[in-house]
Structure 1
Amino acid sequence: MSADKVFHSRSEGIPSEGVRDQYADGKAARIWKKFIGDSNQRTQNYKDFLTGLLRQHGCERVLDAACGTGIDSMMLVDEGFKVVSVDASDKMLKHALKARWEKRKNPKYDEWVIEEANWETLHRDIQSFLPNVQLDAVICLGNSFAHLLSESGDQSEQKTALSNFAKCLKPGGLLFIDHRNYDAMIDSGATPGNSIYYNCKYPVDIKTSVLVVRGKPELVTLDYCIDATEDGDINDRSEFRLCYYPHKLGKFTEMLDEAFGKNAKHEIYGDFLPLGKVKTPAFYIHVLQKPKN
Structure 2
Amino acid sequence: MTSTQTSPSSRGGDQQRFGESPESVRETDHYQQEYIEDFADRWDRLIDWEARERAEGDFFIRILKDYGAHSVLDVATGTGFHSVRLLKEGFDVVSADGSPNMLARAFRNARHRDQLLRTAQADWRFLNRDIHGTFDAVICLGNSFTHLFKERDRRKALAEYYAVLKHNGVLILDHRNYDRLLEGGSAVSGAKGTVYCGEDVQVGPEHVDEGLARFRYAFGDGSTYHLNMFPLRYGYVRRLMSEVGFQKIASYGDYQRDFEDPDFYVHVAEKEYRFDGDATML
Could you tell me the TM-score, scaled by structure 1's length?
0.79
* Counterpart position of 1:30: 41
Q: Determine the C-alpha separation between the residues in 2 that align with 1:292 and 1:189.
A: 38
Q: Determine the C-alpha separation between the residues in 2 that align with 1:53 and 1:118.
A: 26
Shift of 1:65: 0.4
Flag the 1:33–1:64 CA change in 2: closer, same or farther, 3 A: same
Corresponding residue to 2:131 among 106, 126, 140: 126
Corresponding residue to 2:78 among 68, 83, 91: 68
Shift of 1:83: 0.8
Q: Are 1:208 and 2:206 counterparts?
A: yes
Flag the 1:282–1:81 CA change in 2: closer, same or farther, 3 A: same
Q: Are 1:259 and 2:264 counterparts?
A: no
Aligned residues of 1:17 and 1:118 also touching (Cα < 8 A): no
Q: Are 1:250 and 2:246 counterparts?
A: no
SS in 1 for 2:58: helix
Aligned residues of 2:76 and 2:144 also touching (Cα < 8 A): yes
Aligned residues of 1:9 and 1:22 also touching (Cα < 8 A): no
Shift of 1:267: 0.5
Q: Determine the C-alpha separation between the residues in 2 that align with 1:173 and 1:65.
A: 15
Shift of 1:194: 2.8
Q: Are 1:166 and 2:162 counterparts?
A: yes
Q: What does 1:167-246 align with in structure 2 at a 5 Å threshold?
A: 167-188=163-184, 190-192=186-188, 194-211=192-209, 217-227=210-220, 236-246=221-231
Runs ≥4 residues deviating over 3 A: 16-20, 100-103
Q: Determine the C-alpha separation between the residues in 1 that align with 2:192 and 2:203.
A: 9
Flag the 1:119–1:140 CA change in 2: closer, same or farther, 3 A: same
Shift of 1:77: 0.8
Aligned residues of 1:85 and 1:114 also touching (Cα < 8 A): yes
Corresponding residue to 2:65 among 55, 65, 74: 55
Shift of 1:57: 1.2
CA deviations on 1:68-92 (whole Å, 9 max, x unpaired) are: 1111111111111111000000111
Aligned residues of 2:137 and 2:171 also touching (Cα < 8 A): yes
Flag the 1:269–1:52 CA change in 2: closer, same or farther, 3 A: same
Aligned residues of 1:23 and 1:29 also touching (Cα < 8 A): no
SS in 1 for 2:42: helix
Q: Determine the C-alpha separation between the residues in 1 that align with 2:31 and 2:55.
A: 32
SS in 2 for 1:273: coil
**Aligned residue pair count:** 252
CA deviations on 1:158-214 (whole Å, 9 max, x unpaired) are: 100011011111011110001111111011153117321243232524233113xxx
Shift of 1:119: 0.4
Unaligned runs of 5+ in 1: 1-7, 128-132, 212-216, 228-235
Q: Determine the C-alpha separation between the residues in 1 that align with 2:57 and 2:93.
A: 15
Q: Are 1:115 and 2:120 counterparts?
A: yes
Shift of 1:269: 0.8
Q: Which amino acid aligns with 2:40?
A: A
Aligned residues of 1:222 and 1:242 also touching (Cα < 8 A): yes
SS in 2 for 1:121: helix
* Counterpart position of 1:81: 91
Q: What does 1:134-145 align with in structure 2 at a 5 Å threshold?
A: 134-145=134-145
Identity of matched residues, %:
32
Q: Determine the C-alpha separation between the residues in 2 that align with 1:159 and 1:50.
A: 24
CA deviations on 1:34-68 (whole Å, 9 max, x unpaired) are: 11123x33333523110001111111111110001
Unaligned runs of 5+ in 2: 1-11, 19-26, 275-282
CA deviations on 1:261-290 (whole Å, 9 max, x unpaired) are: 4xx11101111111xx33211111100111
More helix by percentage:
2
* Counterpart position of 1:272: 255
Flag the 1:94–1:203 CA change in 2: closer, same or farther, 3 A: closer
Q: Determine the C-alpha separation between the residues in 2 that align with 1:188 and 1:17.
A: 25
* Counterpart position of 1:157: 153
Aligned-residue CA RMSD (Å): 2.3
